[in-house]
Structure 1
C-alpha cells in the first residue's frame, strides 16, 4: 500500500512540474457591451469561449481597471478583457 501511495505522489509531482512549464498565452479581448449585458456575463462568456479558467471575479476587477469603467456597464461601453490560456 505504501508503494502505491509513493508512486501516486511521484506521478502527481511529475504532472505538476510538467503543467508549470507549459507556455501561457496572454492577450486582451475587446468586447462591446449590449443592452442588458453585465460585466459578469460579458467577461464570463469571453473567458469560457477563450478557455481561460481563472476566477471570473479577478478578471472582472482587471477588466474594470484597464477599461476605465467606474459605475455600471452601459450599452456601447468597450470592455478590455485580459485572457491567459495555457497551451
Structure 2
C-alpha cells in the first residue's frame, strides 16, 4: 500500500500519527482532534514553526531597540514573546 493510501486509511480509522513541528521553544507534536469543534489557539503551533523556519522572530528580536538595565530585568525575548502571544490570543486590557 502506498504512503498516501496508508495515511488516508489511518485518517479514516481515526488513528492519525502526530505531526512533529520544530519551534523556537523546541520540538512539539500536534495531533488533530476530529471530535472537537474548535481549539483555543487553533493553528498557533504551525505559526510558531513558521516563525522559526523563516527566522522572522529572530530578526525581530535583533532589530528591536528594547533594553533593560536592571540586574533582575527579563530578557528581551521573554518580553516580546509574551507580548506577541497576548496579541495572538486576543488579549484585551
Shared fold, TM over 0.5: no
The TM-score, its normalising length taken from structure 2, stands at: 0.23
The TM-score, its normalising length taken from structure 1, stands at: 0.24
Which structure carries more relative contact order (alpha carbon 8 Å, separation 6+)?
1
Higher normalized strand content (fraction of residues): 1
